[in-house]
Amino acid sequence: MRYTITFQEESYNELIKYLFSDTKVERAAYALCKLSVTANETRLLVREIIPVAEEDIIEATKTNIKIANRSFLRAMKRADITKHVFLFIHSHPKEYLSHSLQDDREEKMLFKTAYIRIKTPGIHGSLVLSAPDKPVCRIWLENGNTAPVSLIRVIGNKFVFYTDLSKVDPLPVFFDRQIRAFGDEIQKLLRVLNVGVIGVGGTGSAIAEQLIRLGVGTLTIVDGEKFEQSNVNRVYGSSINDDKKEKIRIVQEHAATIGIGTTIIPENKPITFLSATEKLKDCDVIFGCTDDNWGRSILTKLAVYYPIPVFDLGVKIDSEEGKIKNIQGRVTTLLGRYACLFCRERISAKRIQAESLAALDPEQLKALQKEGYADELETPAPAVIPFTTTIAALAISEFIHRLTGYMGEDRESNEVLMMFDRTLIKRNKTLSKLECFCGDTLNILRGDVEPLLDITWRNEI
C-alpha cells in the first residue's frame, strides 16, 4: 500500500504561514482529512488546518514543543464527530529534516489515543516540516507501526509534488533537450506521475503522444471505443490497418514502439462505468478528452471531491455545407473553488440525461424526444487534425506551466480559449457559482463516499 497526501494550495500556504511565522520556536497544528482509498493507494485529503492555540502551548523552544493534552483531545474529538482522520503537524529547525527519536516516543502514545478516540475508519499520520518546501510525513498504523508517505501534492495555481526524487532511476540521455529547458527535477518528477487520459481520439491521442514523449512514467488510459478507419486522419499512433482494434490497444502498442518505458494502465470501458472512474483515483492529474457531457460531468465531480486537477479539452468546428464558419478550442482547468463545467454552462443536466438514456434506454429517449422532453443528440461533429492537435498542445503547455511556473508565478487562469479563425487566444479566471455543487464547501475534498461521487452508476458489463 502506498500512502500519499493532497493539500489545496490555500490550506498549505495557511499552514506554512502559521508554522514559520516565528522560526525561533517549534510550532504545531492539526489537520482533519478525508480519505481516498484504492487497491494501490491510500490518499489523505487535507480539509481543515487547526493551529494549536497559544494557551495550549506549555513550552516551545527551538527544538521542542510541549502541548496540553486538552488541545489534541479537542482536535481528535472534532475529527471523530465530523468523520475525518487526523494529522499531527509540527515544525523543526532546518537541520532536522525528519521525525526525531523523541517524536517516535511521544507519537506512539499520541496515535494510540487517536485510534481510541477517533472512530472514523482509516489511518492517521504525522507531518514534520523543517522548511516550507521540505514536508516529511509518515502514517501511524493501528498496530503501532509506521509507514512512509511517498508523495505530498499541493494543488492550486501551481502543482507541487514533494517526493524523494533520488529514488528515480538515472535519466536516459534522450531527455537532454527537455532537461535543458526545465531542469532534471521536473524530468524526474514526470517519471513518478500517473496521468489519466480520458478518451484517445483526436485530442486524446495527441495528449498521450506528448505525455509519452515528455517522459511521464504512468498513463491511465480510459476509452471503451474501437478504432474505425475514419479515425485515421487524427489519431496518433494509428494506421489504416487498425480497423476494429480497441483504441487503448493502439496507445499501448504505440507507447511500446516509442520505447521510453511508459507504463500504460488500460481501461477498456468508458468513464461512465464505476470501475473505470475508480482507476482514476490513483491519478495525479487528468486530461479530459471525451466529447460527451456525461463523461465530462464525472470528471467535473472528481476534480471537486478528490481534488484531482482535470484539464478538460474541447474543439468545435462550425461548418455549413462544407464551409468553415468558425473554429473554437478551449482548455478548461478544473480545480476546487474555480468554476466547473456546469457553472460555465459547458455541460447540462438535460444533455447528460439524453446521453445516458441513449446508452441505457434508447426507447425511452425516443419517447422523451418525441414529446420534446429530451435533447436531440447530433450526428458526428466535424474534426480536423491541426485543431485537435493545437488544443492538445495548449493543454500540455498549461500542464508544464503548472509544474514550472514559466507563465509567471502569479498567473491565475482556469480557461484558455483559442479562436482559430481569428488567430486569437483569450483566458479567464472564474470562481465557482455558489448555487453549484462545486461551490459547496461540503463537497470540496470530500473524498470517498458511498456511492462514489454520489452518482447512481450504470450496471457493469
- Residue 235 and residue 202 in contact, taking contact as beta carbons nearer than 8 Å: yes
Q: Specify the stretch interacting with Zn ion by CB under 5 A; choose among 38-46, 248-256, 339-347, 411-419.
A: 339-347
CB-based contacts of 361, cutoff 8 Å, min separation 6: none
**Nearest one of 330, 339, 248 to 288, comparing CA atoms:** 330
Rounded least distance, CB 63 to Zn ion, Å = 8
Three cell numbers at 266? 488500460
Which of 185, 388, 153, 175 shows the shortest CA–CA distance to 284? 153
Q: Does 358 sit near Zn ion (CB under 5 A)?
A: no
Q: Read off the amino acid at residue 128.
A: V
Cell of 399: 500542464
Smallest gap from residue 429 Cβ to Zn ion (A): 14
CA–CA gap between residue 364 and residue 357 (Å, rounded): 7
415 in contact with Zn ion (CB under 5 A)? no
Q: Residue 58 CB, nearest distance to Zn ion (Å)?
A: 15
Instruction: Decide if residue 343 touches Zn ion (CB under 5 A).
Output: yes
Binders of Zn ion among residues 23 to 62 (CB under 5 A) are none
By C-beta, is 89 or 395 nearer to Zn ion? Answer: 89
Q: Which of 75, 103, 238, 356 binds Zn ion (CB under 5 A)?
A: 103
Cis ω for the linkage preceding 380 (within 30 of 0): no
Please say which residue, 299 or 438, places its beta carbon nearer to Zn ion: 438
We find the least distance from the C-beta atom of residue 128 to Zn ion, in angstroms, to be 6
Q: What grid cell was written down for 22?
A: 516565528
Nearer to Zn ion, 218 or 432 (CB): 432
Using alpha carbons, select from 288, 337, 281 the residue that is nearest to residue 311. 288
Q: Cα Rg for the chain, rounded, in angstroms?
A: 24
Give every CB contact of residue 266 below 8 A, 6+ residues apart in sequence: 221, 248, 249, 251, 252
Upper half-sphere CA count for residue 385 (Cβ side, 13 Å): 9
Residue 385 or 431: the one with the smaller Cβ distance to Zn ion is 431
Binding flag, residue 227, Zn ion (CB under 5 A): no
Q: Based on CB atoms, which residue is closest to Zn ion, 47 or 337?
A: 337
For Zn ion, the closer CB: 97 or 367: 97
427's CB contacts (< 8 A; 6+ apart) are: 413, 415, 416, 417
DSSP 371: T
CB of 379 to Zn ion, least distance (A): 29
Is position 312 an interface residue for Zn ion (rule: CB under 5 A)? no
User: Minimal distance in Å, beta carbon 430 to Zn ion?
Assistant: 10
Strands 85-91 and 65-67: unpaired
> According to the binding rule CB under 5 A, does residue 342 interact with Zn ion?
yes
Q: Residue 214 or residue 343: which is nearer to Zn ion going by CB?
A: 343
CB of 12 to Zn ion, least distance (A): 19
Site for Zn ion contains 107 (CB under 5 A): no
Binding mask 57-96 for Zn ion (x = CB under 5 A): ----------------------------------------
The answer to whether 140 contacts Zn ion (rule: CB under 5 A) is no
CA distance 214 to 228: 28
Q: How far is the CB of 47 from Zn ion (least distance, A)?
A: 19
Q: How many residues bind Zn ion (CB under 5 A)?
A: 7
Judged by CB under 5 A, which stretch of 155-163, 213-221, 320-328, 332-340 contacts Zn ion? Answer: 332-340
Name residues whose C-beta falls within 8 Å of residue 423's C-beta, 6 or more positions apart in sequence. Answer: none
CB 88 → Zn ion: shortest distance, Å? 10
Name which of residues 424 to 453 contact Zn ion (CB under 5 A): 436, 438
User: What are the φ and ψ backbone dihedral angles of 179, each rounded to 5 degrees?
Assistant: -60, -35
340: contact with Zn ion by CB under 5 A: yes
Quick count: other Cβ atoms within 10 Å of Cβ 201?
Answer: 20
Contact residues for Zn ion, defined by CB under 5 A: 100, 103, 340, 342-343, 436, 438
